Amino acid sequence: MKSVKHENFVDLSKLCSIRIGGKAKTVYFPSSSKEIRTLLIEADNTDKKFFPVGIGSNTVFSDGILDFIFVSTRYLKKYIIGQKEDTFYIEAEAGVSFKTITNIVKKLNLEGFENLSGIPATIGGAVVMNAGAFGTEISDIIEEVHWFDREGNLHVLKRDQINFSYRSSPFQKEGFVYKAVLKLKSSKKDIKSIIKKHLEERKKKQPLEYPTAGSTFKNTPKYPAGYLLEKVGLKGYKIGNVAFSEKHANFLINLGGGKFKELKKLIEIAERRVGELYRIKLEKEIQIVE
């Protein structure tokens, strides 16, 4: 265990995009599949929670000291590009960022990823959450996923073996997504301009000028979550230094020095108000780790 690069008492607010959280007793930084396996076996043997950390764009950590096996994907950034006629395959480790994939698809003018380009994510986290935007989900372009189970066994799963759904995958429960293969096509469209348009739209509609954890709640079958939150009077509503954004009601933002208890209270108020007024149970899209 201690042979895997690690740091002690790490500030968790620096490991998530909303910049809220206490400290991790230890964060591990594996750089190989062998080290990932070692950490998973350790978690299984000690019955500790195993928690992968990418860029933390939909994660909020509680206050205090958390004694989990936190596993950063910082050094898992290798990728390989393969080609078969007009089809390209990008095999990317968990820590490869969407920015890196965006640069590849712009350079090669590849179709399939453009709608996902502005999501602040890494491959591992995106696969786990089945990240999506503008009508596309990452599951739409996945060829296969390399995944470690809780006992440290590596599985290679083809797309049709994986039960993805809206912002959900089987990988959320346990184990570790080590890498994924994306399948993209050479395009006749101007992929650069499509990506530019999406990024401009995202900037216009989302409060990207503040630390945020992205969408707080999943959209419901009947209404978007932002619409419901606005209707129950929570757009711009704040407690302390955490608020539902004026720009997009489904985005919680840290106004500066925001606390976990403030964020948690806002979520509770939202769930209660929407439940009482619309008889709808909101489901969280952000992941709260406590």
Where in the sequence numbering do the catalytic residues fall?
167, 215, 285
Distance (Å, rounded) from C-alpha 155 to C-alpha 145? Answer: 8
Return the number of other C-beta atoms located less than 10 Å from residue 102's C-beta: 20
For residue 262 the two structure tokens come to 């403030």
- The whole-angstrom separation of Cα 3 and Cα 38 is 10
Rounded to whole angstroms, how far apart are CA atoms 250 and 274?
Answer: 12
Contact 104, 83 (CB under 8 A): no
Residues 6+ apart with CB under 8 A from 171: 127, 128, 145, 147, 177
